[in-house]
Amino acid sequence: MKFFVDTADIAEIRDLAASGLLDGVTTNPSLILKSGKPMLDTIREICAVVPGPVSAEVTATEHGKMLEEGRKLAKLARNVAVKVPLTPDGLKTCKVLSGEGTMVNVTLCFSPAQALLAAKAGATFISPFVGRLDDIGHDGMSLIAEIMQIYRQYPHLKTEVLVASVRHPQHVVQAAKLGAHVSTVPPNVLRQLFKHALTDAGLKAFLDDWAKTGQSIL
């Protein structure tokens, strides 16, 4: 499974990229607002740090304007994935941009039927929002299972399932068990994947014993 980080905070991205764990980045208008920086400058900066796909979202809702925005975003860097909503106009835009060789991330997916449409429109990634489904009493991970089942029936569909709206480490583990291609996670959730009480306890025991030896490696 590939790990993308869901943030526009360049300091967080640099820190996580240094671990070698990041395969890409996803952003959206809300994350850009939180960063407090101009969108285009932020996307350029992220693309220079992370060589993998960096999702940058259009803000228009009408096909012509979406296409214009998408083409502008795609010119920022070779690794930009233009993010469009799962609407009729969004899928029209996806079809054109993907035909031009641009990576496209179709976002706000909440049903397997929507995911099938996005794949047929040539999406590079489909982003099902598991956490938001959980929030309204649905099982977000069952959506991932259904999409993966459908995509496996049609090997010619090359769209990757990018699990989004991830709220905790178990979402990541469950997505990996289902064979999802990518999870995009907030920085705090990605760091939680490192944590285990037995790891911390074991390291402390080793260090305590090492201190008793009075030795130094350096």
Residues designated catalytic: 83
Strand partners, 6: 26
On the 0-12 / 13-18 / 19+ scale of CB atoms within 10 A, 15 is middle
Is residue 94 within 8 A of residue 84, CB to CB? The reply is: yes
Report how far residue 122's alpha carbon sits from residue 99's, in angstroms, rounded to the nearest whole number. 8
Which residues are within 8 A (CB) of 122 and not within 5 positions of it... i.e. 6 or more apart?
94, 95, 98, 99, 104, 159
